[in-house]
Each structure stands twice: as C-alpha cells, then as structure tokens.
C-alpha cells in the first residue's frame, strides 16, 4: 500500500510524513535569518491545520485546544477591537485578520510532532541550528565574515542575519534554551559549560542590551537546572559557573571596543541628568513619554495595533527627533517595550487580554507542561520573550508573533498530549491484565 507524502500522512508511519513534520517545524527556525522566508513553513503549517484536525483530531486533546485558544484570544481579540478607531485602519485590520493563522500553525505542530522520535528529532535540529548561529557569529567576529561570506556589520555582530543585525542577538538569546536544554539532557556534562560560554560570548558581542537581559535570565535558569540535577558536586558547579561566566564576560569586554562603549553608555543612567538618561536609553526617553501620552489619550483600545508610527506623528511634538526621522530606521516604529507596546497599541483592553493570556499559559504550565521535559525549552524561551524589561522589535510584528506561536506549538508538542491513543491502549491493557490475573487466582473451592 502506498502512502501519500503530504503532512496528513504522518499518522500512518510513512517516511514522507516523518520528513514533512520535521521539515515544517525545523524549517521555520532555519529560515528565520532570511527576511520573511520563515513565513513559508509557518503558513504551510497553518494551511494544513483543517485537514490535519479533520483526520486526526483524536491526537489533539480538547484541553490543549482550549488553553492555546485562550492564549490566542487574550492577544488577538484586543487587536481586533483596536482596529475600529485606529490611526492606521488598513494596517490594524490586516494584522488582526492575519493573526488567525497563528494558533492554527501551533496546533498543527502539536499534531505533526506526536511521537517521541519526531519531537526529539525536531529539538535536535533546532539545537544544531542555534549552535550553528553561535559558531558562525564567533567566526565572523574573528575573521571579519561568516561561513556564508557575509561581512561583519559596522555597528554590531550580525552573523547569518546579515543587514538585519538587530535581530541576531535577541533571537539567539531567545532560542538558546533549545541548545542548552538538549545538551543538558543528551550530551556530555562538559558540553553544557562549553555551550553556555559560547552563547554568552556571542550574545554579548552582538551588542544588544535586551539580549543581555535575556541572557542573564538564561544563566539563572541554566544554573538552577544544573544545580538540581548534579547535587553531589555543587562546589564544582559553583566553580565552573564562575569561571565560565566571568571568563566569557572578561573576554568579550576587553576584546570588543563596541561592548565597552555599550557598557559605558548603559552606566550613564546612574548619573541622574536628563542628557545622560537620554544617551543611556539611546534617545528613547521621548518614545517612552509619547507612548504614555498615547495611552492617556486612547486608554480603552489604544491607537491601533501596528498604527504606532502614524500615531507618533500625530501626538509627538514637532521637534521630537524620532518624529523628524519618520522615513528612516531611527523612526519610532513601536514603543520599545513589551508591556508598553500592548498598552499603546491596544489599550487597557489589550493589557487585560495579555494578563488573561499569561494566566492561561501559567495554568497550562502548572497543569500539564511542567510534567513533560520535552516542553521545557519552549517554556523557557516564552518566559524570555515575556520579560518586562524587553525592548526588542515589535511584539505585534510578524517576526515576533510567528516566533512566539512557533514556541507555543513546540510546547504543545513537547507536552506529549498529542498521543492519547497510546494512553488509552495502555489503560485497556492494564484492565485486561487485571481481569486475567483475577480469573487466574480465583479458586472455586
């Protein structure tokens, strides 16, 4: 009997179905550095969902669907409500309707990665891709160009991300848990410290301070997991952690003038003057003030999702530097803070929805995800994305939205909830064995 080679054939154990599942999940990560090409596997995942759900809904328990839907509603419904009186209605409406594909892609991943083999292979490929980013970035720093021939950007270490250098550090920091967690579970002990050192060096060299914040939190979680697993050698853990961390920081600081400049620039915040604060925050104080003004003028549903640039032009003073640079890269394209962007774009409704979504995720973790190690890396990465001090690229932008929902899909797949048949079969087998044992031991005398 011949099997189809599409993604719907996965349940029949076909080789084609196996490759489809791995290609679509890991292919998204592989294409992340290349403009919008990552949307290709992500859109395919969303498009395949109706067929996958129709044929294999038994592999997607209602609890998973409900919790993923709750997270999506908390984020997407305020987006829709913000579009009615948006400063840029066409942009807000298009973003709101495009958000429909996000949970569909995540649930497709949960269906496709329904076996331990597929989950492990997807996690391995993701870890290898992230490791390649780090090694490639380090080679670029020393050689002046990376393995693909991309030159080192004058402003920051850019690695395989090319001209989009500002994506490299934060994305590597977000995806680092997949490399570190896979190494912790499957690779030798010495590799844990080698990899965390490698990630530390490359992320710091990227010069993105929001990536440094995520890296600090990654170190805390990494140390916690190592500490719990190796209880017999905790003094050695402390020594290795100190040597790895301080060695990495010492090397990056004294080998990169750019890192020294970023550190000294950040320390200006403690001087207290307005000019020092403006320099320390890369002239974002005006963005903060104008964002708060937007929230004051439009408290209920915000200025409209992704309508921030036009709203900034209408609200900011004429002498504002970010208002004057509307056509170049220095313009104020978003609020540069995860929670503040939610407040300005979608208002108090959006903040309430975000709290609801975070609450649904916490409930999902407490009830299900914490019992499934395959989901730990995705949960870890989602927490990094939700850190309050994050000032990376737009939360409602396509790049971050797709990445966030890919992580939701990996968490859903890693929870092993997409294999209820095996559980039901095992219960039935246990009941049969129990009955046979009772019949065998029953003595009519």
What are the domain boundaries of the chain? 12-112+351-418, 156-278
* Residue 151, SS3 per DSSP: strand
Find all residues with CB under 8 Å of 19, minimum gap 6, and list them. Answer: none
Give strand ranges (E) for 378-426.
none
pLDDT for res 328: 58
Mean pLDDT of 70-79: 97
Nearest Cα neighbor of 176 from 212, 142, 131 is: 131
- Please say whether the beta carbons of 12 and 3 come within 8 A: yes
Find all residues with CB under 8 Å of 250, minimum gap 6, and list them. Answer: none
Least confident of 71-75, 175-179, 240-244, 313-317: 313-317
Q: Residue 263: is its pLDDT beyond 70?
A: yes
pLDDT, tens digit, 9 for 90 and up, residues 156-213: 899 999 888 889 999 999 999 999 999 999 999 999 999 999 999 999 999 899 999 9
Task: Indicate the pLDDT class of residue 428, thresholds 50, 70 and 90.
Answer: very low
CA distances from 275 to 101, 215, 442 (A): 44, 28, 88
- Please say whether the beta carbons of 253 and 292 come within 8 A: no
pLDDT, tens digit, 9 for 90 and up, residues 338-392: 899 999 999 999 999 999 999 999 999 998 888 888 999 999 999 999 998 887 7
Question: CA-CA distance, 181 to 415, in Å (whole number)?
Answer: 15
- Please say whether the beta carbons of 166 and 336 come within 8 A: no
Q: Residue 8: is its pLDDT beyond 50?
A: no
The pTM is what?
0.88
pLDDT for res 325: 55
Residue 354: how many other CB atoms lie within 10 Å: 20
Question: CA-CA distance, 316 to 377, in Å (whole number)?
Answer: 41
pLDDT for res 296: 96
Least confident of 36-45, 312-321, 393-402: 312-321
For residue 313, count CB atoms less than 10 angstroms from its CB and return exposed for 0-12, middle for 13-18, buried for 19 or more: middle
pLDDT for res 197: 97
């Amino acid at each position: 009997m011949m099997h189809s080679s599409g993604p719907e054939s996965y349940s029949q154990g076909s080789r084609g179905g196996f490759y489809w599942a791995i290609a679509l999940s890991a292919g998204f990560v592989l294409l992340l550095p290349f403009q919008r090409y990552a949307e290709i596997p992500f859109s395919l995942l969303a498009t395949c969902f109706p067929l996958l759900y129709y044929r294999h809904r038994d592999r997607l328990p209602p609890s998973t669907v409900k919790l993923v839907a709750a997270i999506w509603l908390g984020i997407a419904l305020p987006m829709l409500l913000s579009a009615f009186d948006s400063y840029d209605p066409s942009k807000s409406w298009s973003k709101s309707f495009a958000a429909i594909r996000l949970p569909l892609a995540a649930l497709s991943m949960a269906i496709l990665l329904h076996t331990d083999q597929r989950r492990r292979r997807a996690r391995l490929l993701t870890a290898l891709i992230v490791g390649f980013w780090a090694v490639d970035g380090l080679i670029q720093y020393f050689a002046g160009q990376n393995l693909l021939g991309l030159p080192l950007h004058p402003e920051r270490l850019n690695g395989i991300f090319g001209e989009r250098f500002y994506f490299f550090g934060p994305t590597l920091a977000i995806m680092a848990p997949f490399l570190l967690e896979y190494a912790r579970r499957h690779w030798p002990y010495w590799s844990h410290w080698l990899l965390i050192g490698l990630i530390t060096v490359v992320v710091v060299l990227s010069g993105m301070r929001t990536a440094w914040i995520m890296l600090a939190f990654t170190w805390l979680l990494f140390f916690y997991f190592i500490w719990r697993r190796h209880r017999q050698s905790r003094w050695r853990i402390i020594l290795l952690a100190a040597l790895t961390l301080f060695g990495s920081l010492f090397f990056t600081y004294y080998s990169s003038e750019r890192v020294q400049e970023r550190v000294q620039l950040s320390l200006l915040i403690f001087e207290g003057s307005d000019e020092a604060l403006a320099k320390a925050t890369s002239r974002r104080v005006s963005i903060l003030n104008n964002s708060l003004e937007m929230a004051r003028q439009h408290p209920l549903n915000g200025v409209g999702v992704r309508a921030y640039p036009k709203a900034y032009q209408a609200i900011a003073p004429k002498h504002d530097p970010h208002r004057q640079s509307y056509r170049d890269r220095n313009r104020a394209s978003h609020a540069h803070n995860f929670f503040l962007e939610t407040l300005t774009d979608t208002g108090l409704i959006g903040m309430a929805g975000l709290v609801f979504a975070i609450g649904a995720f916490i409930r999902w973790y407490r009830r299900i995800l914490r019992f499934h190690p395959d989901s730990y890396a995705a949960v870890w990465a989602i927490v990094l994305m939700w850190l309050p001090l994050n000032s990376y690229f737009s939360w409602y932008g396509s790049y971050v939205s797709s990445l966030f929902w890919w992580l939701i899909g990996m968490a859903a797949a890693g929870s092993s909830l997409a294999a209820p048949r095996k559980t039901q079969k095992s219960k039935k087998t246990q009941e049969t064995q129990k009955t046979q044992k009772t019949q065998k031991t029953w003595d009519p005398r």
